[in-house]
Amino acid sequence: MRALAQQTLTPNQITTIQATLLETLPRGRRAEFRDACRLARTTDSHSFRKQLRTLIELGDPDTQQRATWMLEGCERTSSAM
C-alpha cells in the first residue's frame, strides 16, 4: 500500500483502490489499517468521502469507527475537498 500511495495513478486505478478500501472497512481490525488510511488520503475525492459518510451512518459500530478514522484522515490532509 505504501508503494501505491507514492505512484501517479490513473482515475480508473484510483476508483479501484477506493472500492477496495471501502470493502475492507467492514472486515474488522487489520494490521495494515494505518497504511490503508494513508492510501485513502492519496486517492481522496468527493465521492469517496460521500461513501465513507454513508458507512458512518449505516454501518455497524466497528465499521462506523474505522470509516470515521479514514474520513478524518482525508479531511485533515486536504481541506480543499
Q: Which three cell numbers stand for residue 71?
A: 474520513
Cβ 70 vs Cβ 25: under 8 Å:
yes
Q: CB-based contacts of 60: which residues, under 8 Å, 6+ apart?
A: 26
Domain boundaries, the chain: 2-77
pLDDT attached to residue 81: 47
Average pLDDT, the chain: 90
Cβ 80 vs Cβ 41: under 8 Å:
no
What's the rounded mean pLDDT across residues 49-64?
96
Q: State pTM to two decimals.
A: 0.86
Q: What is the pLDDT of residues 6-48, one digit of tens each?
A: 788 999 999 999 999 999 999 888 888 999 999 999 999 999 9
Counted residue by residue, the chain has a size of 81
Cβ 26 vs Cβ 59: under 8 Å:
yes
